[in-house]
Amino acid sequence: MKILIAEDDAFFQKFYSTKLTEKDFEVITASDGEETLAKVLESKPDLILLDLIMPKKDGFEVLTALSKDAISKDIPVIVFSSLGQEQDVKRAKTLGAKDYINKGFYDFDSLVAKISMYKKQ
């Protein structure tokens, strides 16, 4: 399963990339919203882990763009962000996110379990 991690924090990006690779996922990374959209079209990931607070285009703008593109509109997106207000969660899901995980209450095994729910049968 190929996962795109859209995360501008270098520490978090490397940490999640390393841990998910250890679990036998293929991982691609992007550091901002524009790079995320380019890599989605280029690599066609099976799932996107999306931070909301990123430079160039934030996660909400990325979700909007993904939902309008025939290639990317069906790729499951799990928002993985420190924004945890109810309105942020609702907005992300309205824009097409399948799930929402607050980084502040992070549990790696739970993250892997959520990702695994979206593995292609």
29: CATH: 3.40.50.2300
Q: Who has greater pLDDT, 29 or 85? A: 29
Q: Is residue 57 part of a domain?
A: yes
Q: Is residue 121 part of a domain?
A: no
- Domain residues for the domain of 60 are 2-115
Q: Is residue 120 part of a domain?
A: no
Q: Is residue 37 part of a domain?
A: yes
Q: Are 47 and 118 in contact (CB under 8 A)?
A: yes
Q: What is the DSSP letter of 50?
A: E
83-120 tens-digit pLDDT: 768 888 899 999 999 999 887 766 788 889 889 998 86
The H or E element containing residue 48 is: strand 47-50
Number of domains in the chain: 1
Residue 82 predicted with pLDDT over 90: no
Q: What percent of the chain has pLDDT over 90?
A: 70
